[in-house]
């Protein structure tokens, strides 16, 4: 769902030559993701989780009691939010690899990093936009855009 949120910002990001690249953990569900999110940017598949590991993202052990207690409520919450917006999912595939949102400048330096975990699933979009060098006016304009997961689906 974070991808759909960022896709909504594309008009403002384009003004700053910001390019969106998505990385998925497997091909399973890719067509459904593309159809549901409206993602039109580059999408890479990292089946061996090499990039996920390099970026320090969390691989949950949801099958343990502690892992299940921390992870399952987050998955259920965001699943309900997505469902309210008409996004459909399935329960097949890798459920242990959480992702994140990372912003890199033109020199390849990471200027913003958000790693998903059981308590923080979505990035701080205004903070990320400021890190990318967007003006205060454009950050304010971005906040007014319809973020699919942060509008009527709240609750």
Which domains occur in the chain, in start order? 2-149 (3.40.30)
Q: Provide the residue-wise pLDDT of the chain in tens; the chain has 155 residues.
A: 577 778 888 889 999 999 888 888 888 878 877 877 778 888 888 888 899 889 888 776 655 555 555 556 666 666 676 666 665 665 566 666 778 888 998 888 999 998 887 677 778 889 999 999 999 999 998 888 755 544 443 33
Residues 6+ apart with CB under 8 A from 93: 25, 26, 28, 29
pTM, entire model: 0.71
- CA atoms in the 13 A half-sphere facing the CB of 25: 15
Answer whether 34's CB lies under 8 Å from 4's CB. no
Q: Is 101 helix (H, G, I), strand (E, B) or coil?
A: strand
Q: Is 45 helix (H, G, I), strand (E, B) or coil?
A: strand
Distance separating alpha carbons of residues 96 and 49, to the nearest angstrom: 11
CA distances from 31 to 26, 111, 115, 145 (A): 11, 30, 24, 26
49 in the Ramachandran plot: left (φ > 0), alpha (ψ -120 to 50) or beta? left
Q: Residue 133: its pLDDT value, please?
A: 94
Residues 6+ apart with CB under 8 A from 132: 13, 16, 18, 103, 105, 111, 112
């Amino acid at each position: 769902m974070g991808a759909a949120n960022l896709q909504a910002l594309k008009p403002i990001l384009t003004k700053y030559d910001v390019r969106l690249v998505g990385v998925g953990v497997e091909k399973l569900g890719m067509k459904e993701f593309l159809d549901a999110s409206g993602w039109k940017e580059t999408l890479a598949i990292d089946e061996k989780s090499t990039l996920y590991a390099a970026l320090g993202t969390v691989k949950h052990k949801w099958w343990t009691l502690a892992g299940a207690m921390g992870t399952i409520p987050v998955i259920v919450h965001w699943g309900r939010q997505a469902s309210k917006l008409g996004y459909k999912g399935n329960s097949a595939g890798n459920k242990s690899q959480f992702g994140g949102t990372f912003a890199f400048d033109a020199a390849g330096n990471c200027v913003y990093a958000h790693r998903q975990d059981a308590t923080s699933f979505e990035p701080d979009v205004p903070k990320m936009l400021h890190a990318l060098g967007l003006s205060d006016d454009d950050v304010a304009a971005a906040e007014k855009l319809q973020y699919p997961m942060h509008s009527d689906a709240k609750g």
